[in-house]
Amino acid sequence: MINRIRDVRKQKRMTLADVAARCKPPTTPQTIGRLETGMRNLSLDWMNKIAAALGVEPELLVRRDRDDTVKLVARLGESGAEALARPMDALLPSALAGEAAPLALAVDAGAGEYRAGDQVWLRKVEANDFARALNRDVLAPRPGGRFAFGRMIDRQGARVALLPPGIGQRQVVIDNPPWLAVAEMLVRKL
């Protein structure tokens, strides 16, 4: 079975020893190397262990027969763009966070720093973790299947206040939202 363990590991800048130590229970770097190269069979159990150690979904570790994935070919550092030794599959934004699947918000009309055509990728946080959303752009559910989007500027008890990104818009106060989705990535065509 062709797998992407090495590509994912290198993009996360981890060594074989790092991955081996993060496996539960810990294993050896040699075992991870054998699984990467296909010298050892990648069982479902191993795939789940390695995915957890890398902080990605297990299906990200398996390569499809048709190779239509985005390729990472260079890195931009302080000294400029540098070619990679060999191209590797780019990780999707959902795989970088490693928690729940992301949500996306499409921007149809420009507002604040957002332009028409943008997509905002968001990560859902539960009510007990709203503190990490303060001063960040969030999407919040409202009654009747509606949503509010804006900068979370205040939280008092179960109420949150959002300031929409458009000029001159008034703050929106939402009472007891079950979750918020914090903006993590802006996808914009050049």
> In this predicted model, what pLDDT tens digit does every residue of 128-186 receive, in sequence order?
778 888 899 999 888 888 898 999 999 888 889 999 988 888 999 999 898 898 998 88
At 188, which amino acid appears?
A: R
Question: Which residue, among 178, 109, 171, 111, has the nearest Cα to 140 in the 3D structure?
Answer: 178
Which residues, other chains included, contact 58 with Cβ-Cβ below 8 Å and sequence gap of 6+? 44, 47, 48, 51
What are the start-end ranges of the H helices in 57-137? 93-97
Query: What is the Cα–Cα distance from 174 to 63, expressed in whole angstroms?
Result: 43
Domain ranges of the chain: 5-94, 99-187
CATH dotted code for 99-187: 2.10.109.10
Q: Supply the pLDDT for residue 173.
A: 92
Share of the chain above pLDDT 70, in %: 88
Measure the CA–CA gap between 11 and 8, rounded to whole angstroms: 5
Report CA Rg, the chain: 20
107 phi, psi to nearest 5 deg: -100, 115
CATH number of 5-94: 1.10.260.40
- Reported as a single tens digit per residue, the pLDDT across 14-45 is 999 999 999 999 999 999 999 998 889 888 89
pLDDT of residue 68: 57
pLDDT at 108 over 80: yes
Beta-strand relationship, 146-156 and 71-77: unpaired
Q: Is the model's pLDDT at 96 over the cut of 60?
A: no
pLDDT band for position 91 (50/70/90)?
low
DSSP 111-125: BTTB-TT-EEEEEEE
Reduce the DSSP state of residue 180 to 3 states and report it: strand
